[in-house]
């Protein structure tokens, strides 16, 4: 009888401890949950609601349910914009991964102290204002810029080469701005990789190339896919670089969304495009988690 009472008292005490722990955890998490709801969930819900409304005269919004905004996305003009955006974003992502993987591998092999130094150097460009960086590319790529001056001086070109206001100039600016976002998750994935598996592959007779493709590359696939997410998604929505380095010759989804909320004042259509982009992000995150990726590498 005494033993039953004792066990009951212990169970009750543990139950109270769990309740207190849950309450304390709830109090600690409350500010984050509230701010996340106000700054992320609520704006997305507003966009979702607005995307099903109808554009009224003079830039107003008529609160009548309609799928017109989503249907407009498939019109030839906007479908061409989507196609162009995917093309530029895809090539920018490929270049960032191709350039970023060797750099991430090099940094990961340098040890904790030197890796920290290299990662700090990688972040230094972000200390400069984006406008200053983009204007430097405008000065460098225009007809009287540094590159054309060198080409003309050495006789490699008879006249200035059109480098600015092209898809190539947009991709150069995108790669420069987004390359660190590709390097960081790949560096994290390479650093977490089990080095014993690489050594085992060498002991079993595999050469460096075979070891890289069959072991290293296979183990770091989640980091590569994380880099794809962190580069591809922002690339589609980066309207500033497209405006300044593309000169209006190339229009991407980000430019269309910006114009719909400003000059065109078609908020329902701009909201629909934003929701589609958000859906693409969620799908890519779902695929990333399914292949074993860690959301911590994305900062999520």
Q: Supply φ then ψ for residue 59, to 5 degrees.
A: 80, 10
pLDDT tens-digit readout, 219-246: 888 888 888 888 988 888 777 888 888 8
pLDDT tens-digit readout, 152-202: 888 888 888 888 888 888 888 899 988 988 998 898 888 888 777 777 877
What mean pLDDT do residues 104-119 have? 83
With beta carbons less than 8 A apart as the criterion, state whether 178 and 92 touch: yes
Q: For residue 202, what are its two tokens?
A: 């060498």
Q: Could you write out the DSSP letters of every residue in 54-104?
A: EE-GGG-EE-----HHHHHTTSHHHHHHHHHHHHHHHHHHHHHHHHHHHHH
Q: What is the mean pLDDT of the chain?
A: 82
């Amino acid at each position: 009888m005494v033993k039953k009472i004792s066990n009951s008292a212990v169970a009750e005490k543990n139950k109270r401890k769990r309740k207190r722990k849950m309450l304390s955890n709830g109090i600690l998490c409350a500010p984050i949950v509230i701010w996340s709801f106000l700054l992320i969930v609520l704006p997305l819900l507003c966009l979702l609601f607005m995307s099903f409304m109808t554009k009224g005269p003079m830039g107003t919004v008529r609160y009548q349910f309609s799928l017109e905004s989503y249907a407009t996305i498939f019109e030839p003009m906007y479908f061409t914009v989507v196609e162009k955006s995917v093309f530029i974003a895809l090539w920018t992502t490929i270049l960032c991964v191709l350039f970023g993987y060797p750099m991430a591998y090099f940094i990961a092999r340098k040890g904790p102290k030197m890796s920290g130094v290299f990662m700090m150097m990688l972040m230094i460009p972000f200390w400069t204002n984006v406008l200053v960086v983009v204007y430097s590319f405008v000065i460098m790529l225009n007809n009287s810029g540094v590159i054309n001056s060198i080409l003309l001086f050495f006789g490699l070109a008879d006249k200035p080469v059109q480098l600015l206001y092209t898809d190539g100039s947009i991709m150069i600016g995108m790669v420069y701005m987004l390359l660190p976002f590709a390097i960081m998750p790949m560096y994290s994935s390479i650093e977490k990789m089990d080095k014993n598996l690489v050594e085992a592959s060498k002991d079993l007779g595999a050469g460096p190339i075979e070891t890289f493709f069959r072991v290293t590359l296979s183990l770091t696939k989640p980091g590569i896919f994380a880099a794809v997410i962190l580069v591809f998604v922002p690339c589609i929505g980066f309207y500033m670089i497209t405006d300044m380095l593309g000169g209006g010759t190339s229009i991407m989804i980000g430019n269309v969304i910006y114009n719909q909320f400003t000059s065109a004042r078609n908020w329902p259509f701009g909201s629909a495009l934003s929701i589609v982009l958000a859906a693409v992000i969620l799908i890519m995150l779902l695929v990333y988690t399914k292949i074993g990726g860690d959301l911590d590498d994305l900062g999520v």
